[in-house]
Amino acid sequence: MEKNILKIGIIGLGTVGSGVVKTLKNFENVEIKAAAVRNLNKKRDVEVQNLTDDPFKIVNDPEIDVVVEVAGGCNPALELITTAIKNKKHIVTANKELLAKFGAQIFDLANENNVSVLYEAAVAGGIPIIGPIKTTLRGNIFSKVAGILNGTTNYILTKMEEKNISYTECLKDAQALGYAEADPTGDVEGYDAMYKIATLANITFHKRIDVNQIYREGITKISADDIKFANELGYKIKLIGLAQKTENDELDIRVHPMLVPVSNMISGINNAMNAVLLEGFPVDKVMFTGPGAGEFPTASSVVGDILQIAGEFNHTDTVLPLHRCPHKEKAKQIDIKHTKNKYYISIKAPNSKGTIGIIGTACGNNNINLSSILQKGIKEDNTAQVIVITEVANEFDIQNAIKELNAQNIEINNLIRVM
Amino acid sequence: MEKNILKIGIIGLGTVGSGVVKTLKNFENVEIKAAAVRNLNKKRDVEVQNLTDDPFKIVNDPEIDVVVEVAGGCNPALELITTAIKNKKHIVTANKELLAKFGAQIFDLANENNVSVLYEAAVAGGIPIIGPIKTTLRGNIFSKVAGILNGTTNYILTKMEEKNISYTECLKDAQALGYAEADPTGDVEGYDAMYKIATLANITFHKRIDVNQIYREGITKISADDIKFANELGYKIKLIGLAQKTENDELDIRVHPMLVPVSNMISGINNAMNAVLLEGFPVDKVMFTGPGAGEFPTASSVVGDILQIAGEFNHTDTVLPLHRCPHKEKAKQIDIKHTKNKYYISIKAPNSKGTIGIIGTACGNNNINLSSILQKGIKEDNTAQVIVITEVANEFDIQNAIKELNAQNIEINNLIRVM
């Protein structure tokens, strides 16, 4: 079986695809056989010999060994990838949405067809994380994986803090600078981070994850005040993807903003950087940081996957177990209301003597102990802004306390969980 | 070739070996066939069936597939490992000294005999770094690898800062707490970090490294004052292992204390934690942090290597290229005197008006620009402590400036390079 050169077909020559073509120039054991693009006439800064606007030509080309899918979205990506797998092609993809929604189906099909599906670039851009979890850290039983998984929102939160500006103003700047898309929903509402934590949870806990059961909250409600108050209290606000085992061996998976203590290294991850923290036995805690997106960092991960397949290509006729996702057991995922957290609560209350008492009583009624309570001055409309940080409490109890406060004309500006 | 269970023999049942035995209990595809120990009668908290005090029985046992060497030192480790390789056994080792001194010989022999030599645990304990460089980051051309590679010295420097105590006092505390050995030379004089940066440079730059050409300086000359002044100027002092490409494609490899700006994440790596930073194209910068030593973190890396071999064991008759170290080219390593750095210089000078002038002149004579100069009060012996931070200068020029100062009765307390 001497087939020295690995032939790849690329679907998508956008930012990531271009980076892959440029990076692969350094490697003689991989040949780009063809690439599929949406618009054949578009000017590009990379040259690929066989360009097509029909991606099915790539997945059906008998000469292509590996299909590199960097176009994104589920349609037609799912059909393309399943067709390619049935045609016995290995897959390298950066498609976090596809993996989160259809990973189980894709991995089953890949196992049946004895091909590899690698996806280092789907999580945290250039940071090596999928590979290390599957190989170097394979001996561990993990209890937690968490991190900053979306560069756009981290950039926005960093700039909101630096410039003391509102989310809306900051988003406009980020869009102008190319850090946020024209329709930023996927990033700012936490969908992107949700897809990534789904994939991380899958390989960390060896369970199938239902992405629809992941609690998700974006950063659009974070105010400049929240960031300022958090800073005063010794925290940074970060959008965190989190998956952790509960005492009952269930999984608590969610994406939402969190107050991160400045003593935690994650609080120091700024701008478009990403970070992933793993906790397990025997390794204890390890953290990986680096660029979470961008042409070249993402290409680093895609090319790493391609070279891994190239390295095994001439030497084994099977897919090595470390590349497989053989686990079929579905995770028991708990609802956010059954989680326990510390909370930051920003409260808008009438400026009257009884307010602090009402807040204290509502918390006490619901088994919530307060760790600190600060009144942040009186506003022009004669309301007081009160910041409460709780001890660990049940989410269920917190939601009830908030209902009690609302019933007494006390509004909640924001509720943010604390790491 | 159905040989489902991988049989391993362990040389050394000390801290790391015990951790490996405990961790492997979770994995059914690996069997510990035998272990070699120095003292058969010593009480241990792990049980291994076939204990021997003759490690050659392990490397010559025809039933053993993988030899796990976690005893350390070069003698008899080199003979044991080369014998095992000739007997077609794969090797997993945590032996940084052996790899730094005899890696070339070992890798050549392994290639000839078609066996894997894996050594994730030899660098930065539980942090996945060897694996990611060889696989996930394989598409990169690196310009730099640097980090905190020794837990003992990082612990001492952290505590010196926290408690404002001298190196000597701190070392005693660290020894009492088990963070430093009775003979701490290997750690505090930088040998351990030197072995690790040699191995990192080897796989990062695909060149053979002569460990004898690596400049090495430990932490024993760092004073509580140095740490205090560095803090005042916005730096932390860390023992850094560094390997970087020069403009002429030579390698600048060294281990010495450095002032690290607090804005650099490496400055926040405290106590016995390690960190490794990689810079290259296309990934840009990635950093890995975690526990640099200890029974379980180190076992995580050893077991990861064992499981990697187990994963490939039934599926390929050859060593996959990603596990090989085929490069035979020797690195061109430059001498420290040909490097360029910023410098922190702590100067003890007579308390006279001309002193600052003499210092300025000596620097000017040698093409050294000063970025800041601080006089830190007059001591009882009527000497002044002067702290100078230079712009980037040639090491050669710095050494000449120091000679000029010494000739004029001005002593140098310490010279520390700045990151």
Residues of chain A with Cβ-Cβ distance to B283 below 8 Å are: 126, 290-291, 296-297, 300-301
Is some CB atom of chain A closer than 8 A to the CB atom of B281? yes
Which residues does chain B have within 8 Å of residue A26's beta carbon, measured at their own beta carbons? 139, 141
Q: How many CB atoms lie within 10 A of CB B103?
A: 24
> Which of A315, A25, A279 shows the shortest CA–CA distance to A144?
A279
Contact at CB, B284 and A140, closer than 8 angstroms: no
In angstroms, rounded to a whole number, what is the distance separating the alpha carbons of residues B276 and B285?
11
Asked if A289 has any chain B CB less than 8 Å from its own CB, the reply is yes
pLDDT tens track for B190-247:
999 999 999 999 999 999 999 999 999 999 999 999 999 999 999 999 999 999 999 9
**Would the CB atoms of B296 and A281 count as touching at under 8 Å?**
yes
Q: Does B330 touch chain A (CB under 8 A)?
A: no
- Computed over every residue of chain A, the mean pLDDT equals 94
In terms of CA atoms, which chain A residue is nearest residue B294?
A283
| Maximum C-alpha span of chain B | 84
pLDDT at A375: 86
CB contact set of B170 (below 8 Å; sequence gap of 6+): B156, B159, B160, B163
Flag if A296 and B284 touch (Cβ within 8 Å). Answer: yes
- Span A334-374, pLDDT tens digits: 999 999 999 999 999 888 778 889 999 999 999 999 999 98
Rounded distance between C-alpha atoms, residue A110 and residue A88, angstroms:
8
Taking the model in full, what pTM does it have?
A: 0.96
Instruction: Please give, one letter per residue, the 3-state secondary structure of B10-46.
Output: EECCCHHHHHHHHHHCCCCCEEEEEEECCCCCCCCCC
Give the residue from B114, B136, B263, B312 with the most A CB atoms within 10 Å of its CB, the best one to mutate: B136
| Structure tokens that stand for B3 in this block | 């040989």
The pLDDT tens digits of the residues spanning A19-71 come to 999 999 989 999 999 999 999 999 999 999 999 999 999 999 999 999 999 99
| Max CA distance (Å), chain A | 84
pLDDT band at B1 (very low <50, low <70, confident <90, very high): very low
- Residue B131 pLDDT: 96
What average pLDDT is seen over chain B?
94
Query: Of the residues B89, B96, B134, B196, which is catalytic?
Result: B196
The answer to whether residue B303 neighbours chain A at the CB level (below 8 Å) is yes
**Is the minimum CB–CB distance between A326 and chain B shorter than 8 Å?**
no
Q: Is B114 on the interface with A (CB under 8 A)?
A: no
- Residue in B283, B287, B304 closest to A136 by CB: B304
Residue-level pLDDT at A3: 56
Name the residue among B19, B131, B139 with its Cβ closest to that of A135. Answer: B131
How far apart are alpha carbons A362 and A369 in whole angstroms?
10
Query: For residue B146, is pLDDT > 60?
Result: yes
> In this complex, which of B26, B131, B289 lies closest to A286 when CB atoms are compared?
B289
Residue A141 backbone dihedrals phi, psi, to 5 degrees: -105, 115
Q: Sorting pLDDT into bands at 50, 70 and 90, what band is A1? A: very low
Q: If DSSP codes are grouped into helix, strand and coil, which group holds residue A193?
A: helix
Phi, psi torsion values for A4, nearest 5 degrees: -55, -45
B274: closest chain A residue by CA: A286
Q: How far is A416 from chain B (nearest CA, A)?
A: 26
Q: How confident is the model at residue A312 (pLDDT cuts 50, 70, 90)?
A: confident
The yes-or-no verdict on residue A320 having pLDDT over 60 is yes
pLDDT tens track for B327-354? 899 999 999 999 999 999 999 988 877 8
Query: Is B103 in the A-facing interface, judged by CB distances under 8 Å?
Result: no
C-beta atoms of B289 and A265 within 8 A: yes
pLDDT tens-digit map of A215-268? 999 999 999 999 999 999 999 999 999 999 999 999 999 999 999 999 999 999
- Taking only the tens place, the pLDDT of each residue in B67-96 is 999 999 999 999 999 999 999 999 999 999
Residues B394 and B340: beta-carbon distance below 8 Å: yes
How far apart, in Å, do the first and last CA atoms of chain A sit? 53
Percent of chain B at pLDDT above 90?
88
Q: B282 vs A138: CB contact, 8 Å cut-off?
A: no
* Residue B3: pLDDT band with limits 50, 70, 90: low
pLDDT at B188 over 70: yes
- Tell me if residue B348 is catalytic: no
What is the DSSP-derived secondary structure letter of residue A38?
S
ipTM over 0.90: yes
